[in-house]
Structure 1
Amino acid sequence: MKDVKTFDELLDEKYGKKGNNERDQFDADSLAFRLGVMLKEARIEANLTQEELAEKTGTKKSYISRIERGLSDIQISTYYKLIELGLGKHLNISIG
C-alpha cells in the first residue's frame, strides 16, 4: 500500500512550509478563492445578480465579479458589508 499524504504535506512539498513566501502566497490566493466561492453561492441563494449586489452595497459589478473569481483581495469590512448588508446574511468568523 502506498503512503498516503495529507493535503498539508503535499503543499509543503510543492510550496514549502508555512512562512515561506511561495507558500504564503498560495495560502492567500486560496483564501481569496474560497471567500469568492462562498460569496457567489450566497448571492445566488439570495437570488441576486452581481449588479444588484453591487447596487445594494455601493460597489461595482466588476468588483463583485473579481471577488467571486478569487482575483481580488478583500478587506474583512468589505466582505462584511457584502454579506450582511447586501445579502442580509450573518458573517461568522472564528479562530481555531
Structure 2
Amino acid sequence: MSTKNSKLEMFSFDQIKDEFIGEIGTEKRTLYEQELQMEVLGDLIKKVRLERNMTQEELGKLIGVQRAQISKLENNTTNVTVETVLRVFSALKAKVNFNVELLNNSVKIA
C-alpha cells in the first residue's frame, strides 16, 4: 500500500452530522439534537439521584410517581414535561436553569 499520493482527509463532528444526519435546521437534525439532549438529561437525573444516595423508588415517592416512571426518565424511554423535570430536580435539591436562544432576532406576539 503506497502512501505517497494518498492524503488523509479530516472532518469535524459537525461536518459528519451535517452529512449523515442533516444540516442544522432540518427536521431530522432537530430531532437528533432533541433526543441527544433528553438522553443527557436522563443521565443527569440518574447521576444526581445516586449522589444523593436515593433509590428510584424513593425519588418516585417524593414526586408522586412509581419507580418505573423514574426508570423511564433515566433511560429516556418516555416523553417528559418541563413540570416533571422541575419536580424531579426539586426533590433532588438541585437548581434548574433553562437557556432559550432565539435563532432569529425577532419575536412576534400575536
State the TM-score bracket (shorter-chain normalisation): 0.7 to 0.9
Aligned residues: CA RMSD: 1.6
Given the alignment of the two structures, is residue 79 of structure 1 paired with residue 85 of structure 2, yes or no?
yes
Report percent identity of matched pairs: 26
- Counterpart of 1:88? 93
**Of the two structures, which has the highest relative contact order with CA contacts closer than 8 Å and spacing of 6 or more?**
1
Instruction: Point out where structure 1 has 5 or more consecutive residues left out of the alignment.
Output: none
Q: Specify the alignment match of 2:104 in structure 1.
A: none
Paired residues for 1:16-27 under 5 Å: 16-27=22-33
Q: Which moved more, 1:38-47 or 1:65-74?
A: 65-74
Normalization by structure 2: what TM-score?
A: 0.76
Pairing of 1:1-96 with structure 2 (within 5 A): 2-84=8-90, 86-95=91-100
The alignment covers a number of residue pairs equal to 95
CA distance in 2, matches of 1:60, 1:43: 15
Q: Which has the higher helix share?
A: 1
> What 5-or-longer segments of structure 2 have no aligned partner?
1-6, 102-110
In the TM superposition, what is the alpha-carbon distance from 1:18 to its structure 2 partner? 2.3
Q: Distance in 2 between matches of 1:8 and 1:95?
A: 21
TM-score by length of 1: 0.86
- Contact 1:17/1:23, CA 8 A, preserved across alignment: yes
Q: More deviation in 21-30 or 53-62? A: 21-30
Aligned partner of residue 17 in structure 1, secondary structure: coil
